[in-house]
Amino acid sequence: MEDFILSDKNFKRSRLHSLYSDFSHLKQTNVEGYTANLTSWKFLLLDIISKHVELLCQDDVISFDSNTLVSSLTVRDTSLTYIPKGLSEVLNSMINEDHTLVPLSVFKSKPVDVNGNGDGVLRSIFRSIMGTSYCNHVTNFDTADPSSDDGGLIPNEKFICLSKLKDIAGQIKLLLTSNNPAKLNHLQKLAENNNVVKTQTDFDCCIQYITRDTMDVGLNGDIAYLLGSDGHFKGENISGLDLATLETVADLNYSIFKLQNHYDTLHNSLNTLDHKIHGLIREKRLKLAKSQLRIKKIVEKQLVENQLKLENLQIVQLKLQEAKTNVSVAETLKSNADLLKKINKEAPDADELDSILQDIGDELDRTTEISSKLGNLTTTETQEEENSIETELSALEKEEEDKNRKSYTKEKSENAEQETSEKLEKDIKPVSMENKCKDHLNKQLSKTSEVAIETGDAQIEALEERFKKLTLPKEGTSRSLKRNDKKHRPDKTHEPLTA
């Protein structure tokens, strides 16, 4: 426990003196310090009871024991011993303000407000006189021992953690679901075998919570059984049994449980005897081995008899469930048969039904006829209007064809221009005066594009041949470039190209 407390980030060694002192006076002088200490202790206590209850010096799992809580939380660090002198202040806040803890003495006499409805208007007005009607709404419970000077708690009291109570009670209810109905002794042994509870106090508190507060479980003497929303017995396979019959079913369930436990005990004893006999034989203690062998035979016989009894009871249990299922199915069939009879009585007779079908057939035929006539309706137009529509349609069609033809010619010329440009760039490789040569070629390409658009494919091929013959000097000046240009320039007197 000491290591667990010191591992908490809120319980650093530098704060132990403040946390373990009686810090109740800080409520008036240092509210922030008081709140910090109070919050640290609350988180620690709830963490212990929820997840680390084994650290406490007690067997209860849903409550703190006032007789051992102070000693469990005491920390011995080096030469110092820290006793939680302000523990009563923490418990009082958790009971009277937070309502996360409930004193066992109050829980036994007052229920838990599970719905959070409170005491109501009238009870709230006279609460100071009458007191609250719920154990988790008390406001003036004091956990301090008046005869103690070192923060002791009132003796022989337990403080139930409501969240842990709800959790454990839910697990017990789940065990009852698979053994419904069950005797309390049977249910308690199931809870102990499944490590749900260890003490009678925990079991009694859980049973009281699910029978008195949540009312999920009914209690008839020592027979516990699940309740439905209507407050009656609820069972998956044996629903509908009256309370007088529940005891018989509970006895059957408990007998099967005891026989199963007895069988397990005999089986374990048989294994122990077998191991012991083999050891005695190895030690050559044959007389004692012979005696243990006789005992083994008796245990084997009891094991077989116990197994037969268990099988018989389990068969009875299965047949009982089968019988109740048959009754439930028969009742369901009967009720549905009555419902079918009632509905069929409201249906028309044969003659009336034939008349209805004939009427429907006639109306369907009439609907088909009307639809056919409506579908044959056409709009009439004059011959002049028809001719006008044809003329406009032809004009639109011609316009669309012209657009397509121009688009095709433009696209083809652009492709030709691009191919010419690529060929020129490949054939012409200037060494010097690169920029001037490029300007010259661009001008020629512009002229070529204009001519190509006008002349078409034949003229484009002639221009390509002309530019193939165009060469640039390897080295020279702009004057030599002009001479070369004149050499290849067509004569002005040459016959002009026509489109």
pTM across the whole model: 0.61
| Res 247: pLDDT | 84
pLDDT digits (tens, 9 = 90+) for 476-485: 444 454 455 5
Give percent of the chain with pLDDT exceeding 70.
77
Q: Which of helix, strand or coil describes residue 226?
A: strand
**Mean pLDDT of all residues belonging to the chain:** 81
**Distances in whole angstroms, Cα of residue 259 to Cα of each of 202, 312, 390:** 26, 11, 103
148 Cβ contact partners less than 8 Å away, ≥ 6 residues apart? none
108 Cβ contact partners less than 8 Å away, ≥ 6 residues apart? 208
Q: Which of helix, strand or coil describes residue 81?
A: strand
Q: How would you label 273-283 residue by residue, b for 16+ Cβ within 10 Å and e otherwise? A: beebbeebeee
pLDDT digits (tens, 9 = 90+) for 344-353: 888 888 888 8
The answer, yes or no, to whether residue 243 has pLDDT greater than 80, is: no
pLDDT digits (tens, 9 = 90+) for 273-330: 999 999 989 988 888 989 999 999 999 999 999 999 999 998 998 888 888 788 888 9
| Res 333: pLDDT | 92
Q: Is the dihedral of CA 48, 49, 51, 56 positive or negative?
A: positive
Residues 154-178 have a mean pLDDT of 94
Q: Which of helix, strand or coil describes residue 434?
A: helix
Give percent of the chain with pLDDT exceeding 90.
39
The answer, yes or no, to whether residue 498 has pLDDT greater than 90, is: no
Q: Which of helix, strand or coil describes residue 64?
A: strand
The answer, yes or no, to whether residue 41 has pLDDT greater than 90, is: yes
Q: Highest mean pLDDT range out of 120-134, 328-342, 366-380?
A: 328-342
The answer, yes or no, to whether residue 381 has pLDDT greater than 90, is: no
**Nearest alpha carbon to residue 41 among 88, 106, 104, 103:** 88
Residues 217-234 have a mean pLDDT of 78
| Res 421: pLDDT | 72
In one-letter notation, the amino acid at residue 318 is L
Chain CA centroid to CA 54, Å: 31
Is residue 19 a contact partner of residue 11, using CB atoms and an 8 Å limit? yes
